[in-house]
Amino acid sequence: MSQLLPIVGPDSPEATNSLITIQKVKLKDLHLTCEFTEQRHEEAPARAFALTCQEQVHADLLHRLSRLVPHLCLLAEQLAETPDFWPDEAEELPALFGLFSVTGFSMGKNQSGVTLIGQRELTGGRVLNLTSPYQSFEDEHNRYAYAGRLETALFEALAEVEAALRGKCTEYRQLDLFDEQPAAASISLVSTRPEA
């Protein structure tokens, strides 16, 4: 009888060799939930997973998701483009995006497009959930003027999601009550059922 080895996570010796294809990403309370497939190598069959990370996501993933906010606003027709609409990479988002956030996305078949999911905070503290129309990166007829920019920002976010699946998370650790040496970092992943 062969033993199944955990592939996803930083403790797996095979983790860096596996191929991960991300289908859905959701961020809630700084915890990542992700649906993806993984192959041990190119010829191996893909295995489907749905995981929720127990640790809070790294700030790099939050930054990458924030870069999708201008696209969500344009695709969901929430804001009109202005001269200062697109921030530089190092800049924070302009103030006009302060009420918006991207909380996830769903990839199209073969990662050829995306649906962005986010929120807009309304007056009175209520939240309006936003879902962009599906945007293909190669659609000639319904061309989004910033499809190339969206694709680049999305693949940078996908790289951070994959890094999170492989163990990249915040450095937050609860302090010990006594002067004990900190234990080695461990990542716990909780399996969740994929929704059909």
pLDDT value at residue 186: 54
136-163: per-residue pLDDT in tens? 888 777 778 888 899 999 999 999 999 9
Higher pLDDT, 176 or 147: 147
d(CA 51, CA 54): 9
pLDDT value at residue 10: 47
pLDDT value at residue 8: 53
pLDDT value at residue 178: 62
d(CA 196, CA 182): 41
pLDDT band of 23, cuts 50, 70, 90 = very high
d(CA 115, CA 23): 11
**Type of residue found at 25:** V
Q: Tokens for 57, please give them.
A: 């996501």
**Type of residue found at 152:** T
pLDDT band of 2, cuts 50, 70, 90 = very low
- What spatial distance separates the first Cα and last Cα of the chain, rounded to whole Å? 32
- Between 64-73, 89-98, 113-122, the lowest mean confidence (pLDDT) is in 89-98
Closest to 83 in 3D by CA, of 72, 96, 68, 65: 96
Contact 71, 152 (CB under 8 A): no
Res 88 pLDDT > 60: yes
pTM: 0.77
Contact 128, 122 (CB under 8 A): yes
